Amino acid sequence: MQSQPEDETVAGIDIGSRSIELVVLNPDGLLRSAKAPTTFDPLGQCQRLMEGIDGSRIIATGYGRKLFAESFRQVNVSTITEIQAYSLGARFLYPEAKMVLDIGGQDTKVISLSETGKVLKFEMNDRCAAGTGKFLEFMATALQIPLESFGEFALRSDRRIQISSMCTVFAESEATSLMARGERPENIAMGLHLAIVQRTFAMLRRVGLATPLVFAGGVAQNPCVIKLLEEQLGQPLKVPENPDMVGALGAALYGENYRTVDV
């Protein structure tokens, strides 16, 4: 505790398939947070993000954590899984949280937490695009709507239609045929959002639905998904201000706890 200031900083970095998030903490609190797209050069992107934070502890999480740990050997690096990271981050932001839902770019995670915040059970969907952010991205492109406004666009629907295809590729064909039949694109968008929420709900039920439910990850910025989930849940979700930073935050917190335990 009496060491130089650099030793007191802890960084959490969440290297995902689409974006990389960084959170740096020191005993006073949040020092820095930053985000960058992963691109084809994730390590280069990490390098850029981490400028100026040498010497501190880094905890890496996400899809690219092993790659990061192997490449940044000169720094003090450990890794934890996204499950651990998201649960720590969510619990920190919402101390009463019982469940965490993370719909990311390429996977979806559901985590149930104990009274003390420990991971009780988890389930992941990382083999199929349907039910992940990829599905929405794909569909937004098909309907030629920018991804960031896809949720709002869907909220302008005037009726709910059911998309029956389970598969992302076929759902796109279905959306196209609906367009050809004159269906309003807003309604098609709503149907697609409904599909992803239905899949998510099945996962939530299998793990054991519990509230308060923290909704994190990139897709938590989609107002339509939030609305539909809250409808199904029957109560409001806990959505952090920066839902895609929760993993990096959790990783940094892990580093902090670890360091405190050491001392």
Partner 1 sequence: MSNSHDAMWEKLNLDLEAHQGLLEVLGKFYGDIYMSQQGRLRGMEYLDFVLSEVHGLRIKELQDAKAAGKKVVGTFCVFVPEEIVLAAGGIQVGLCAGAEIGTGEAEKVLPRNTCALIKSFVGFKLARLCPFIESCDLIVGETTCDGKKKAYEIFSDYSPVYVMEIPQMKNACDRELWKSEVLRFKSQVEEVTGNKITADALKDAIHLVNERRRVLQRLNRLRAAVPTPISGRDVLLINQISFYDDPVRFTSKIGELCDELQDRVKSGDGIVPDGTVRLMLSGCPMAVPNWKMPFIIESSGAVVVGEESCIGTRNTRDLVDEDSMSLDGMIDAIVDRYMRIDCACFTPNTERLDNIVKMALDLGVKGVIHYGLSFCQPYLMEAYKVEKALAGAGIPMLAIETDYSMEDVEQLKTRVEAFVEMTR
Partner 2 sequence: MLDISELQDNDKKVAGIYCLFAPVEIVRAAGAIPVSLCGKREQPIADAERTLPPNLCPLIKSSYGYAVTDSCPFFSASDFLIGETTCDGKKKMYEFLGRIKPLHLMHLPYSASEPHALKFWHEEILRLGGFVEESTGLEINRDHLGFQIRIHNKIRKLIRKISRFQAAEKPPISGLDMMSVMETKSFFVNPEEYISLLLEFIAEMEPIAASGFSPFQQDAPRVLLTGCPVAKGCEKTLRMIEECGGAVVCMENCTGVKGLDLLVDENEEDPFLALARRYLQIPCSCITPNDGRLALLDQLIDEYRIDAVVDHTWQCCHTYNIESRIVGDFVEKIHGLPFIHVETDYSNSDVEQLRTRIEAFLEMARWNSSACAQMRKPYTQA
Q: Which of partner 2, partner 1, none binds 205 (CB below 5-8 Å, type-dependent)?
A: partner 2
Is 26 strand, coil or helix?
Answer: strand
Q: Which of 121, 156, 159, 206 binds partner 2 (CB under 8 A)?
A: 206
CB of 208 to partner 2, least distance (A): 9
How far apart (Å, rounded) are the C-alpha atoms in residues 30 and 229?
Answer: 30
By C-beta, is 30 or 202 nearer to partner 2? Answer: 202
Stretch that binds partner 1, among 46-54, 69-77, 120-128, 138-146 (CB under 8 A): 120-128
The two tokens of residue 108 are 């979806």
Q: How far is CA 230 from the centre of its chain?
A: 18
147 binds, among partner 1, partner 2, none (CB under 5 to 8 A by kind): none
Q: Are 232 and 203 in contact (CB under 8 A)?
A: no
Pair of tokens at residue 191: 């149907």
CB of 130 to partner 2, least distance (A): 11
Q: Which stretch binds partner 2 (CB under 8 A): 110-118, 142-150, 199-207, 218-226?
A: 199-207
**Which residue's CB is nearer to partner 1, number 119 or number 147?**
119
Cα distance between residue 69 and residue 73, in whole Å: 6
**From the list 119, 147, 179, 209, which residue makes contact with partner 1 (rule: CB under 8 A)?**
119
Beta strands in the chain (DSSP E): 10-15, 19-26, 29-37, 57-61, 76-79, 99-103, 108-113, 119-125, 213-216
164 binds, among partner 2, partner 1, none (CB under 5 to 8 A by kind): partner 2
3-state DSSP call for residue 135? helix
Could you count the other beta carbons within 10 Å of the beta carbon of residue 99?
A: 24
**Which residues of the chain form contacts with partner 1 (CB under 8 A)?**
80-84, 118-122, 124, 126-127
**Positions in the binding site for partner 2 (CB under 8 A):** 164-166, 170, 202, 205-206
